[in-house]
A and B are shown apart, each in its own frame.
Chain A
Amino acid sequence: MGILDYLLKKNKPTSSASVAKERLQIIVAHERSNRGQPDYLPLMQQEILEVIRKYVDIEQDQVSVQVDNEDDCSVLELNITLPDAK
Chain B
Amino acid sequence: MAKIIVVTSGKGGVGKTTSSAAISTGLALRGHKTVVIDFDVGLRNLDLIMGCERRVVYDFVNVINKEASLKQALIKDKRTEGLFILPASQTRDKDALTYEGVEAVLDELAQDFDYIICDSPAGIEQGAQMALYFAEEAIVVTNPEVSSVRDSDRILGILQSKSRMAEQGKSVKEHLLLTRYNPSRVASAEMLSVADVEEILAIPLLGVIPESEAVLKASNQGAPVILDEESEAGQAYSDAVARLLGEDVEHRFLEQQKKGFLQRLLGGK
Contacts and interface: CB of A to CB of B under 8 A. Distances in A.
A24 B164 CA distance: 29
Most-contacted residue by chain B among A15, A16, A17 (CB, 10 A): A17
A36 interface: yes
Contact of A3 (B145, B199, B262): B262
Contacts of B153: 28, 31-32
Contact of B261 (A1, A9, A15, A17): A1
Interface string B143-163: 001100110011001000100
Interface residues of B, number: 21
Interface residues of A, number: 20
Most-contacted residue by chain B among A3, A16, A21 (CB, 10 A): A21
B264 to A, nearest CB: 12
Given A32-B153, A35-B157, A35-B161, A24 B189 contact: no
Interface string A1-26: 11100100100000111101101110
B150 A24 contact: yes
Contacts of B191: 17
A66 B199 CA distance: 26
18 contacts: A1-B262, A2-B261, A3-B262, A9-B188, A15-B189, A15-B190, A16-B189, A17-B190, A17-B192, A21-B192, A21-B199, A21-B200, A24-B149, A24-B200, A28-B153, A31-B150, A31-B154, A32-B157
Nearest to A25: B200
B260 interface: yes
B186 to A, nearest CB: 7
Looking at chain B's contact residues, the main secondary structure is helix
Nearest to A18: B189
A27 B186 CA distance: 22
Interface of A: 1-3, 6, 9, 15-18, 20-21, 23-25, 27-28, 31-32, 35-36
A45 B199 CA distance: 31
Interface in B153-200: 153-154, 157, 161, 186, 188-193, 196, 199-200
A28 B189 contact: no
Contacts of A18: 189
A24 B201 CA distance: 10
